[in-house]
A = this chain, B = another copy of it.
Amino acid sequence: MRISELSARSQVPIPTIKYYLREGLLPQGEQTSATRAVYGEDHLRRLRLIRALIEVGRLPVAAIRKVVDAVQDEDLPVHDMLGTAHYALGPEVEPDPDEAAWRDAGDRARALADDLGWAINPNAPTLDELAQSLLTLERLGMAADPEALRPYARAAHALAEHELAGVPFGGPRDAAVEHLVIGTVLYGRLFDVLRRLAQESESSRLLGPLRAADGHSE
């Protein structure tokens, strides 16, 4: 297809497509004359991935380039390709100013993952996020010992098992990464909403059994 059709089908404006071509995020089309190129289904799929990374993952262009490079490097195992996308989705974590506390929290984060039997790259930035979470919980007087975290870990593991089983590993690499990124972000947001709804329902059950039937007033 010509760039105009690629634009129409992907709903990405032509100047944006040209920008992605210049930046190397989208591979060049097949040149059919000095001024014309044609594009295929893989270009459409790449545009879908880029839009997912921007609109759902809210990633900056530099992070998108890293993900696209991993997708394009056919020698990179699928697990590592997914990891590149996955790590890009997490927030940057600043080490805590209290160095001893930060080191200790990092040790406990790794120990927790080990204890759960999870296979995690010891350099995963997600472990820094976990360390930060543990520190913040403790400083605010909330339970953050392995026993208190077990219900969360159990629920997280059940969902992750279900989710990874749904990633389309058999098809193109772009499609697998797109599914992982959209799923990680959107089902994460959905879960947060469902948890707050379930909390309201539980509060109603515990504190207002009669009120539950007709809803509570604001």
Contact = CB atoms under 8 A, between A and B. Distances in A.
Interface of A: 52, 56, 77-80, 82-84, 86-87, 89-90, 113, 118-124, 126-127, 129-130, 133, 136-137, 140, 142, 149, 151-153, 155-164, 169, 180, 182-184, 186-208, 211-213, 215-218
9 contacts: A80-B216, A83-B203, A140-B182, A142-B186, A151-B158, A153-B194, A156-B191, A159-B195, A159-B198
Contacts of A79: 203-204, 207-208, 211, 216
Given A156-B198, A164-B199, A182-B142, A130 B193 contact: yes
A140 B190 CA distance: 14
Nearest to A151: B162
Given A136-B186, A189-B133, A86 B142 contact: no
Contacts of A142: 182-183, 186-187
A194 B78 CA distance: 21
Contacts of A84: 218
Given A130-B197, A133-B186, 5 more contacts: A86-B196, A152-B190, A163-B199, A184-B199, A191-B191
Interface pairs A-B: 8 shortest CB-CB: A160-B198, A119-B212, A118-B201, A156-B194, A79-B207, A155-B155, A119-B204, A164-B202
Nearest to A217: B80
